[in-house]
Amino acid sequence: MVFTTEHKIFITECYVRNGVIENGECRCSSSACLQEFRQKFEDMVFLEADFFNLVRSTVKNFPLNGSVNRKQASGGLKLRTEALIEDVRQRMEEEPTRSLKHLSQEMGLSYETCLLRKRI
């Protein structure tokens, strides 16, 4: 079963609500959270191990991201466009003995990106 954002919010609130301060440290109970979760979402079927992993990751993500969801990927642009592939192909045909190291420096690309010749 997939846990939704609603489930993750409930888990985080429950985890914090059931926390107790002992010797200056906050102790929260995943087991108490599991019991409350099962009462609220009675029809949901899941493995306890999956639930405890979700509690751990959700509670860890919340202070880091300000969200119960995982951090979004950086969304870096892919350089392997058709135009780039064609440019690399053309340059390699013009100078087949040119090393990938020099080609990547000349084109301002990483060495790995210039490994396209194996895919061309």
What span, in angstroms and rounded, lies between the C-alpha atoms of 20 and 31? 14
More confident residue, 96 or 8: 8
Tally of structural domains, the chain: 2
* pLDDT score of 63: 77
Could you read off the pLDDT of 23-60 as tens digits, one per residue?
777 677 888 889 999 999 988 899 999 999 988 888 88
For residue 104 the two structure tokens come to: 């990547």
**Range(s) of the domain holding residue 42:** 5-65
Comparing C-alpha atoms, which of 71, 109, 66 is closest to residue 91? 109
Residues 16 and 50 in one domain: yes
Residue 16 falls inside a structural domain? yes
Residues 15 and 55 in one domain: yes
Task: List, as one string, the DSSP characters of 25-51.
Answer: EEE--HHHHHHHHHHHSTT----HHHH
Tokens 């642009």 appear where? 77
Task: Map residue 72 onto helix, strand or coil.
Answer: coil
Residue 112 has pLDDT above 70, yes or no: yes
Q: What are phi and psi of 119, to 5 degrees?
A: -95, -10
Residues 17 and 49 in one domain: yes
Quote the pTM value.
0.53
